Amino acid sequence: MRYESAGAASAVRARHDGAKRNPFSENECGRYYARSMASWGLLNAWGGFTYSAPDGRMTFTDRPGRYFWANGRAFGTATVANGRVSVEVVEGTLPAGMTFATASGRAHASSKPQRNGEVWHDTAGHVINAHGGCVMEHGGRYWLYGEHKIYGTQGNVAPVGVPCYSSDNLADWRDEGVALAVSGDPKSDIADGCVLERPKVVYCANTGKFVMYFHLERPGRGYSDGRVGIAVADRPAGPFVFLRSTRTTPGTYPVNANADEMGDDALARSQKEWEVACGRTGEGERALIYPAHVAGGQDSRDMTLYVDDDGRGWLVHSSERNSTLHFDELTDDYMGFTGRWWRFAEKDWTEAPALCKKDGRYFLVGSDCTGWAPNEARYYRARSLTGPWERVGNPCRGVNPANGLGPEKTWGGQSNYILKTREGRYIAMFDIWNPENQVDSRLVWLPVQFKGGEITIEWQDRCEAVP
């Protein structure tokens, strides 16, 4: 086929060479005839070249050789050998963080473990674009959801939505398309440009539907909105229909409220103090935040969903300006709140909660609160979801050789989710964020080890995916 195409291209050029079509020049002839059939586009096609600016990605054929490429910003050559590609820019510049792959990269992705902290590919050879998400098991397959990121600092808002991938072995991920798309309607809460983070999906046995929650900041509000978005679908890959966004548990006090947090005096104090609550020291550290938000609902940012053994669904999220964790009991259809909720880890500033249960104990892994910058993880444990929760320590061990970072910085990453596989293994998922170029954020999946009521998570280069 390639050779037939090349033959057709040279026949066209030979026929329309400018001389045979006098008075047209070679250039003019080319504009109308030859260029459309024997153009630069053919040169790119010869090298199997594709370019995605939003994803910051260039891909090439897996045929060994040296190929021309041009993408509108730059041009150069790509040398393909042993399934790897090296790219040379002859003129122009490529944005930092651009990733390159080959078709043999696609073969690599198949049935071979992904490597922690490296770029992961799906079964079509494209970079897996699912960050801060989760994996759900349903119908004999695993379903991976996450934040779709684009190139550069624009990657911190959502122009696409929540992509979905599926796999039967946790290693080979098939692109299932966009499960929840952001809206083109600027009035929608999930309009293009909103902040849509940490999507989590669970199956609701009571309704037979799939329910997605995510942290939402409506467009143009920075991180001041602090809402959860709720969407629902009939199939794991969607399409998910956006139901609404909301602050959590409006009109209710926590079940474990202290008496001095309720009543008019507490409300007046809280209305005065919550505004200083950003600070982690002095007044901010002591500020009473949540009573001021009982009427309208509590703020919610980093979050996870958890379905307990009894089928009860829970939203666990950082609230009170990220200073305190809230555990919100969900209604039977998981699409709202029962109004029963608990506060834990008060003023512990825990973000990125990831939850699992083993041998009658719940474990919650989280991070400190330092924006996109990595910090030291911590975990809590409890015999009941509704507490008491005890802070234990940092479960992380070992060093990420790529950046030299160890447990003091969670290997450069941040906790995200804990999956219990159908074989009963536990996989802790982390994100190594790159706020300057979020499409190049990396995934890290590691086994959780349980011993004597304690957990450890040890760095390993190989992703904990293939059984």
CB of 197 to ligand DGJ, least distance (A): 5
Question: Can you tell me which of 172, 189, 225, 302 binds ligand DGJ, judged by CB under 6 A?
Answer: 302
User: Measured from the CB atom, is 363 or 430 closer to ligand DGJ?
Assistant: 430
Site string (188-217) toward ligand DGJ, x via CB under 6 A: ---------xx-------------------
User: Measured from the CB atom, is 59 or 414 closer to ligand DGJ?
Assistant: 414
User: Measured from the CB atom, is 125 or 146 closer to ligand DGJ?
Assistant: 146
Encode burial over 387-396: b for 16+ CB neighbours within 10 A, e otherwise.
bebeeeeebb
Per-residue three-class SS string for 88-150: EEEEECCCCCCEEEEHHHHHHHCCCCCECCCCCECCCCCECCCEEEEEEEECCEEEEEEECCC
User: Measured from the CB atom, is 172 or 320 closer to ligand DGJ?
Assistant: 320
User: Measured from the CB atom, is 371 or 453 closer to ligand DGJ?
Assistant: 371
CB of 284 to ligand DGJ, least distance (A): 18
CB of 413 to ligand DGJ, least distance (A): 11
DSSP string, 406-428: -GGGGGG-EEEEEEEPTTS-EEE
Strands (E), 218-336: 227-233, 241-246, 303-307, 313-319, 324-330
User: Measured from the CB atom, is 198 or 326 closer to ligand DGJ?
Assistant: 198
CB of 25 to ligand DGJ, least distance (A): 57
Tokens of 428: 């802790």
CB of 301 to ligand DGJ, least distance (A): 6
CB of 432 to ligand DGJ, least distance (A): 12
Instruction: Report 412-451 residues binding ligand DGJ (CB under 6 A).
Output: 414
Judge whether 414 and 376 are in contact, CB under 8 Å.
Answer: no
Instruction: Report 385-414 residues binding ligand DGJ (CB under 6 A).
Output: 414
CA-to-CA distance for 50 and 38, rounded, in angstroms? 18
CB of 352 to ligand DGJ, least distance (A): 5
Site string (368-387) toward ligand DGJ, x via CB under 6 A: ---xx---------------
Site string (125-164) toward ligand DGJ, x via CB under 6 A: -------x--------------------------------
Question: Can you tell me which of 351, 368, 440, 464 binds ligand DGJ, judged by CB under 6 A?
Answer: 351
Question: Can you tell me which of 171, 190, 294, 352 binds ligand DGJ, judged by CB under 6 A?
Answer: 352
- The DSSP letter of residue 183 is B
CB of 433 to ligand DGJ, least distance (A): 7
* Beta-sheet strand order (sheet of 57-60): 50-52, 57-60, 99-102
Cα–Cα distance list, 122 to 171, 175, 295 (Å):
9, 7, 45
CA geometry: angle 291, 263, 331, nearest 5 deg:
55
SS3 state at 347: coil
CB of 132 to ligand DGJ, least distance (A): 6
Size of the site for ligand DGJ (CB under 6 A): 9
User: Measured from the CB atom, is 152 or 236 closer to ligand DGJ?
Assistant: 152
Encode burial over 200-232: b for 16+ CB neighbours within 10 A, e otherwise.
bbbbbeeeebbbbbbbbbbbeeeeebbbbbbbb
Strands 99-102 and 57-60: parallel
On the 0-12 / 13-18 / 19+ scale of CB atoms within 10 A, 80 is: buried
Residues that bind ligand DGJ (CB under 6 A): 132, 197-198, 302, 351-352, 371-372, 414
